[in-house]
Amino acid sequence: MPDEHPDSSCDDQKRTDAAVGALSRRRFMQTVGLSSAAALADRARAAAVADDTGAPPILGPGAVDIALHVNGATVKVKAEPATTLLEVLRMHLGLTGSKEICGRGACGGCSVLVDGKLVYSCMMLAVDAISAKITTIEGLAEGDALDPIQESFIRHDALQCGYCTPGFVMASTALLGENPRPSLDEIKAGLSGNSCRCGSHSNIFNAVLDASGQAPIHDGEGA
């Protein structure tokens, strides 16, 4: 019997871990694929009412017509079914306030409201937003009059480079919509899905406190 290399059991374990990891990732991707396919199938079934053959229409793989309700207006675009809501907003509609930073649901830079709920638009397919009411940062102001939360961000200098700011403003809007007078801890929790690499957090928390009629904290105490 050949001598066993001292590291062989360790190598075996690594191979086992790698196999399990690959399986888990594969399973995850399959699950994501299935849930996306199921969502599309649901939408296709919903849209199939007018199909006299009774067969549900197949979406894609080429571009399809997509009608969305964005900032109070109905807009129509032609995009592949795999196009994200963020891509449609930025690339098709020119609404570049929502930012693509991580592109994978980790930073909140692309946050918008979909039927009043905070959504990472990089993680939602545009076809899944059909018939929903979408609000982007561009839809908050009324003409030249900024939304009070936008005014408060300016008043408290709650930004540096500003790249994360639209996402934070949308997350703050969603938070105040659900909780008009959040505590500091509730503000931190409500904005925890957004990140600011410039470290503007304490001023952002001040802005939300002020916008909700509460005294701001002293700079540096809330970070």
Shortest reach from residue 101's CB to ligand FES, in Å:
5
179-198: contacts with ligand FES (CB under 6 A): 196-198
Q: Which of these, 189, 217, 209, 201, lies nearest to 165 by C-alpha position?
A: 201
The residue among 171 and 176 lying less far from ligand FES, judged by its C-beta, is 171
Range in contact with ligand FES (rule: CB under 6 A) among 29-37, 41-49, 163-171, 175-183 = 163-171
Among 161, 178, 192, 221, indicate the residue that binds ligand FES (CB under 6 A). Answer: 161
- For position 164 contacting ligand FES by CB under 6 A, the verdict is yes
User: Taking CB under 6 A as the rule, does residue 166 contact ligand FES?
Assistant: no
Beta strands 111-114; 133-135: pairing state: antiparallel
Strands across the sheet with 133-135, in order?
73-79, 64-70, 133-135, 111-114, 117-120
For the CB of residue 187, give the shortest distance to ligand FES in the complex, in Å.
Answer: 16
Token representation of residue 68:
């969305």
- Report CA-CA distances (Å) from 134 to 63, 74, 168, 174: 21, 10, 17, 12
Interface residues with ligand FES (CB under 6 A) are: 100-103, 105-110, 120, 122, 159-165, 196-198, 200
